[in-house]
Structure 1
Amino acid sequence: MNIEPVVPTIKNPPERFTGDVWLDPIAAPRNTDQRMTVATVRFAPGARTAWHSHARGQYLRVTQGTALCGTRDGHVVAAHQGQTIYTPPGEEHWHGATPERWMEHLAMLEGGDDPATSTTWLEHIADQEYARAAQASGSAEAQND
């Protein structure tokens, strides 16, 4: 048993995120017997991921604000503090904050057989598509546009 070393907060790369997003790692695989990755992720208002999928799925536990999460078929959910979103293996999706509020979630996933392919990153979600998702979710800022 040991206390894990503190890992500095990192800013997520613009190739995978729109807006300002910070990540605090909690758990990451250290050897071949471990697959679990957990991190606290903070999204500034309007920030979001690019489209992506996970080889073994992903859980997102919203700890602050409201998370928007959308799928390729146009389905969007708004999850609030205390709620958990599950995306199944291979489902292309995006998630992020509403236009007017910060959002924080715990991201939990199990790595794939090849850690390099646990998450497949794709293109950014278009601003117009994000705006429609925010509008459909009842986002106050989107309704005032």
Structure 2
Amino acid sequence: MEYFQGNVFQDLIIESPEPARVRAIKVLFEPKARTAWHTHPLGQTLYVLDGIGLVGNRKGPPKLITVGDTVWIPPNEEHWHGASEDSIMEHIAIQEAIDGKVADWFEQVSDHDYSLTK
């Protein structure tokens, strides 16, 4: 399973040993790069550090996010996130693990779903 489309660079900030569950990663997406559809069993928080990005779910068109935005993604909500067409996007992603699992991954985001913000 490919977790990303395009060029994406990850830098692990912390992966707590059990019984703690927190995991934080700094992620840099080059323009048009994005995650595949996925869920998190306990939800996810994104904090945007740089650039302009998108967050999408199955309920409607993706939303633009930019520097300083904080986004909460509820537990088990199918979603994706990545950079806009013309900008990088860097964020910190914070999520918690259940039995060591932080995400379930699904199919890649289609170009059609990605471009719905236009």
Task: Name the TM-score class by shorter chain.
Answer: over 0.9
From 95, 107, 114, the counterpart of 1:123: 107
SS at match of 1:45: coil
The alignment of Structure 1 onto Structure 2 pairs a total of residues equal to 118
User: Aligned partners of 1:80 and 1:126: how far apart in 2?
Assistant: 22
Q: Is the 2:53–2:65 Cα contact (8 Å) retained in structure 1?
A: yes
After TM superposition, the score normalised by the length of structure 1 is 0.78
The 4+ residue runs of structure 1 with deviation greater than 3 A are none
> Contact (CA 8 Å) 2:44, 2:75: kept in 1 or not?
yes
SS of the residue corresponding to residue 77 of structure 1 reads: strand
1:38 and 2:17 matched: no
User: 2:11 aligned with 1:27, yes or no?
Assistant: no
Report the CA distance between 1:29 and its aligned residue. Answer: 2.2
- Say which structure is richer in helix: 1
| Matches for 1:37-116 after TM superposition, within 5 Å | 37-112=23-98, 114-116=99-101
Structure with greater contact order relative to length (CA < 8 Å, sep ≥ 6): 2
| Cα contact 2:62–2:114 (8 A) shared by 1 | no
SS in structure 1 at match of 2:115: helix
Picking from 103, 125, 132, the partner of 2:116 is 132
Distance 2:113 2:96 in 1: 29
2 CA distance for matches of 1:23 and 1:40? Answer: 6
CA contact (8 A) 2:53 2:87 kept: no
Specify the structure having the higher radius of gyration (Cα).
1
Moved more, 89-98 or 74-83: 74-83
* Cα deviation code 1:26-82 (max 9, x no counterpart): 00022x211000111000000000000000000000000112001102242111100
Q: % of aligned pairs identical? A: 40
Q: Which amino acid counterpart does residue 131 of structure 1 have in structure 2?
A: S
The one-letter amino acid paired with 1:79 is: I
TM-score (norm 2): 0.95
**1:16 aligned partner:** 3
